[in-house]
Structure 1
Amino acid sequence: MNIGQALMAAQALIEPISDSARLDAELLLGHVTGFNRAQIFMRMNESIDAATKASFDKLVARRAKQEPVAYLTGEKGFWTLTLKVGPGVLVPRPETELLVEWALEVVRDQREPRIADLGTGSGAIALSIATERPDAKVIATDFSDAALAIARDNARQLGLQRVSMRNGCWLQALEGEQCNLIVSNPPYITLGDTHLQALRHEPLMALTDGGDGLNAIREIIAGAPAHLLPGGWLLLEHGYDQAPAVRELLAQAGFTQIESRIDLGGHERCSGGCIN
């Protein structure tokens, strides 16, 4: 069997559970061979040895059971970074880069801004911001020790040890702190959502609050004003249909300049506001 045939067979197995079966197969093959996608393309007619094929088949079988590609390869690209990921953290999604873009816009004209990322997981948001703003004081918090261990590893590998990692539930980890910006991608999927089955390999507490998907958002919005400096912003990622509810919660908490941002899929994916 050559590499092209092995890829076609893997794609067929993955297609029932993935909209990107070909890409998934190429990434998994690249992981076991050390080839990038361009190199794989140039080797389509080359034979694949038995040991490599066996390793590839094992990964493909796991992917066919909906295990994320990032868990199988141990890494995920986000923003300009390559991050270590594993079962203890949510796999960073491309739509979350919208939150990073907005955060950088908010602090663009500020010197040495103080920024907190609540529920940091792999550290994707906090480390992306820290990469772009080396002058910023960035605090990354998470309730999960396993997640913070991965975030610390990522910070170390990227040379971003200046990012402060703190254990705590949402704003509890910011006791005594006031920031120019607080960002968060909290769990927002409702408990009964059918999408949870497809995400079963990822940590449940990072996906759903066990209720209507707004409990964590309510807690963050209610507590954020006490931890924001005058003119400070709170930015939140949320579900595709939750923007009106989140804007209302922000207004009730006294935020102004409230708006939502649209992701590449055309959904209102992030909402935020300023505290005076």
Structure 2
Amino acid sequence: MLAGMLSVAVQRLAEAGVDSPQVDAEWLAAHVLGTTRSGLLLVEGFDSDQQRHFDDLVEDRANRIPLQHLTGLAGFRYLELAVGPGVFIPRPETEMLAQWAIDRAGSLDSPVVVELCAGSAAISLSIVDECAAAVVHAVEFSPLAVAWAQRNIDKYGQNRVHLVSGDATDPAVLSDVDGQADLLVCNPPYVPDDSAPPPEVADHDPAMALWGGGADGLDTVRKLVPRMHALLKPGGWVGIEHADVQGESVPAILAAAGGWTDISDHPDLSARPRYTTARRR
């Protein structure tokens, strides 16, 4: 019975152009039933109220509302983060930058970490979750995103993620941390002006988290680089996520700015350029 309901939902989502109709239908069913995707094997079907709820969610997903907005959760590494309208949904690709930061922080005794453009605080919380000695200072500009980040910090932060609401390019923001950070991570807005993301992104992720400014999408990165340099101690490391077409341009920005060494770009699991790292001289 449930299999037949899922089959109808999968067909509807596929017709609407959803990339992963089977997986999304299963997540929605699990959400309605209060179980996991694997737990669906133990369920015969919906009652009438659950059926209506499921049908409504499927129709919303067919209208390209993000799956995470419908369930209220986004998985990131070992965490389930609260997300919704007003905050950027963390992507699996960003887990690569988080892993790099966790490995780097884990090699230090008491690392001081900064995250700029923190969004939901996904990277910050993963660092403190997997590196017991780390303390993170996270900066986010959007009031809506700050509210989501604080909700996640209240759940996972264990008093080791300190959230600041402010403009990450402002020298006054985190000025008390200047020259003290061992590590800085940033997933900034970097979408070029002429790009056309899919509807889930363009219509539902906040614009300020997407569009980086300029034809190459990297105006925001250029503005952030001086703050990154000021926040880090000599020898401190920075990691910056970027689009797969920016694997040469982001390293070039750091090289042109001066004051950086060991500039390197790194691929994601699909072998596409994904993030740049460098060390303050």
With the length of structure 2 as denominator, give the TM-score of the two structures: 0.93
Q: 2:212–2:221: 8 Å Cα contact kept in structure 1? A: no
Number of the residue aligned with 2:138: 140
Deviation at 1:209, TM superposition (A): 2.5
Quote how far apart the aligned CAs of 1:198 are. Answer: 4.1
Q: Give the match for residue 202 of structure 1.
A: 205
Correspondence 1:4 to 2:21: no
After the TM superposition, list the runs of 4 or more consecutive aligned residues in structure 1 that deviate by more than 4 angstroms.
Answer: none
- Contact 2:88–2:120 (Cα < 8 Å) also in 1: yes
Change (3 A) 1:159 1:166: closer
Q: How many aligned residue pairs are there?
A: 273
- Deviation, structure 1 residue 128: 0.4
- Give the TM-score of the pair, scaled to structure 1: 0.94
Q: Which runs of 5+ in 2 are unaligned?
A: none
Aligned to 1:182: 184
Cα separation, 2, equivalents of 1:239 and 1:257: 20
Aligned counterparts of 1:125 and 1:66: Cα–Cα separation in 2: 26
RMSD of aligned Cα (Å): 1.4
CA contact (8 A) 1:85 1:91 kept: yes
**Kept in 2: contact 1:250–1:272 (CA 8 A):** no
What SS is found at the alignment partner of 1:94? Answer: coil
CA contact (8 A) 1:118 1:171 kept: no
Decide whether the 8 Å contact of 1:187 with 1:209 is kept in 2.
yes
Matches within 5 A, 1:151-170: 151-170=149-168
Equivalent-residue separation in structure 2 for 1:161 and 1:108 (angstroms): 18
Q: Is residue 239–residue 269 contact of structure 1 (8 Å, CA) maintained in 2?
A: yes
8 A Cα contact 1:14 1:63, kept in partner: yes
| Deviations 1:40-99, CA, capped at 9 Å, x for gaps | 1233xx243221110001111111111111110000110111111111111110100011
Q: SS state of the match for residue 55, structure 1?
A: helix
Whole-Å separation in 2 of the counterparts to 1:235 and 1:189: 18
Aligned to 2:256: 252
Residues in 1 aligned to 2:46 and 2:106: alpha-carbon distance in whole angstroms = 50
**CA shift at 1:33, angstroms?**
0.8
Tell me, yes or no, if the aligned pair for 1:66 and 1:201 is still in contact at 8 Å.
Answer: no
Structure 1 residue runs without a partner (length 5+): none
Please identify, of 213-222 and 23-32, the stretch whose mean Cα deviation from structure 2 is larger: 213-222
8 A Cα contact 2:168 2:227, kept in partner = no
Residue 75 of structure 2 aligns to a residue in which SS? strand
Q: Percent identity?
A: 37
Deviation for aligned residue 1:266: 1.4
Letter aligned with residue 212 of structure 2:
D
